[in-house]
Chain A
Amino acid sequence: MIVVGELINASRKPIKEAIETQNADYIKQIAKEQHEAGANYIDVNAGIFVGKEPEYLQWLVKNVQEVVDGPCCIDSPDPKAIEAALAVHKGTPMINSISLEKERYDALLPIIAGTDYKVVALCMSDGGMPETTEDRLKIADELINGLVKNNIPIDNIYVDPLVQPIGTNSNFGIEFLNAVEAIMTRFKGVHTMCGLSNISYGLPNRKFLNQAFAIMAIAKGLDGLIINPLDKQMMAGLIAAEALAGRDDFCCNYLGAFRAGKFEF
């Protein structure tokens, strides 16, 4: 399971303020906490700053990697911002994300083609947002084939089947889950990942829904998540779910987590 720590996102107020006041210490602290909690990648997003996104995204990468010996997940739809971040990034980053929307696809492909970057491939096309399993599968098929043809190994592709809120359509949860299963079955070697918070949009008790949804998706084969790694209950749930899904030989990871006190809240 790949965990991407989602907290350094400018749409969160404390991060927005830290960027505006160039409070590097705060960014470093949040990066470090997430890394220590088990995040494999630290997501960096400065998307709310129209015009200044490239500069700020680069600043975030620099500060994160001053304290974290690990890669970032560069989170932007804007090729200029991604390039600015890449210019200072050390190691192999994850790019979040390319999609099948023509403009975005054409702009990002030259940046990632032939590289060893990890790439999040978002199931969205100019035809709109996918609603059914079939919609998602069709976009995933085109995206995976397009990326592989451009020398991106299938093992570096993380398909995001696009989570939509069950509050607006009761079937959005199950259609997503079935898409995960279909993608993981049909395209051997590819990965799937997603953020969770959309699923519970407009509903109370979101944490609970997000957690249950993550565990259900893991059962279907999901092997990447963009989450808050400081949420101990969520992290413990992932470890338990992977063991239950048959992806933890001799329950090694589960037992290691137990001994490390990860099930004590």
Chain B
Amino acid sequence: MSIKDIYQAVIDFNNAKVVELVKHELANGTDVSTILNDGLIAAMDEVGRLFSEGELFVPEMLRSAQAMKAGLDELKPLLAQSAAKSAGTIVIGTVKGDLHDIGKNLVAMMMEGAGFDVIDLGVDVDTEKFVKTAKEKNANVICMSALLTTTMPGMEEVIKAVKAQGLDIKTMVGGAPVTQEFANKIGADGYAEDAPGAVEKARELASA
């Protein structure tokens, strides 16, 4: 057994096997960050890649994320003392007036799968809550979702507030009606078309 097996078990969405293998590696004294990065996160990267290429579909991505999470739960008590570094902190939510959360949930899940600390504020989140939480939690990136064109201006409001307060927090937007063009117009730091794309962008922004 090896890290490669953990990787494969996540891709095969086998929760029980992921847990068993992670326990086994821990018992063998394998480094927590190796299990996390080369096993769990690497697997979710591959799942994201396969999803973006159309090889895998949403339910399969969800199952893999569940398997990843099951493994992560085993590691969590040990993460604090380990050398494993969080990929960054993400504050995510659907903007004010908008209750759609399916896309937002997929993004939040993939962010977790990529090793980010994710604070999910849910739906109908106003500007103040986004900014206040991001400040409190020292977030790297605020991610905003909207499905309604009528609620999209809420994104600009958050971005303006972040800039007006001179905060060193990046902003990302997404959702069915949102485009790169719109993101540029409102001054967002990032936009992505799908959940794996959002992970890639968040990594870029969090390390910048």
Contacts and interface: CB of A to CB of B under 8 A. Distances in A.
For the complex of A and B, list the 8 residue pairs with the smallest distance between their C-beta atoms, beginning with the closest: A202-B58, A167-B58, A47-B149, A167-B59, A48-B177, A77-B150, A128-B99, A78-B150
B59 A101 contact: no
29 contacts: A11-B176, A11-B177, A47-B149, A47-B150, A47-B177, A48-B149, A48-B177, A49-B149, A50-B153, A50-B182, A53-B149, A77-B148, A78-B149, A78-B150, A101-B99, A103-B97, A124-B99, A128-B101, A128-B123, A129-B99, A165-B58, A167-B57, A167-B58, A168-B58, A168-B62, A201-B58, A202-B57, A202-B58, A204-B57
Interface string A118-133: 0000001010110000
Interface in B100-123: 100-102, 105-106, 123
B45 interface: no
A203 B148 CA distance: 22
Interface in A173-210: 201-204
Given A11-B177, A78-B150, A165-B102, A126 B124 contact: yes
Nearest to A45: B149
A96 interface: no
Nearest to B179: A48
B149 A201 contact: no
Interface size class of A (residues with CB under 8 A): 20 to 34
A40 interface: no
Given A11-B177, A129-B101, A202 B59 contact: yes
Contact of A50 (B59, B61, B62, B152): B152
B69 to A, nearest CB: 16
A164 B103 CA distance: 12
A167 B62 CA distance: 9
Nearest to B149: A47
Interface of B: 57-59, 61-62, 97, 99-102, 105-106, 123-124, 148-150, 152-153, 176-177, 182
Nearest to B185: A50
Contacts of B97: 101, 103
Contact of B59 (A11, A103, A124, A203): A203
Interface string A31-74: 00000000000000001111001000000000000000000000
Contacts of B105: 168
A204 B101 CA distance: 21
Interface of A: 11, 47-50, 53, 77-78, 101, 103, 124, 126, 128-129, 164-165, 167-168, 201-204
Contacts of A11: 176-177
Contacts of A103: 97
A49 B153 CA distance: 12
Contacts of A126: 99, 124
Nearest to B106: A168
B178 to A, nearest CB: 9
Nearest to B124: A126
A33 B149 CA distance: 28
Contacts of B124: 126
A255 to B, nearest CB: 40
Contacts of A53: 149
Nearest to B101: A129
A164 B147 CA distance: 14
A124 B98 CA distance: 11
A126 B97 CA distance: 9
A241 to B, nearest CB: 26
A201 B102 contact: yes
A201 B195 CA distance: 14
B177 A164 contact: no
A11 B148 CA distance: 11
B52 to A, nearest CB: 13
B100 to A, nearest CB: 7
Contacts of B182: 50
Contacts of A201: 58, 102
B16 to A, nearest CB: 20
A101 B98 CA distance: 10
Contacts of A204: 57
A129 B123 CA distance: 10
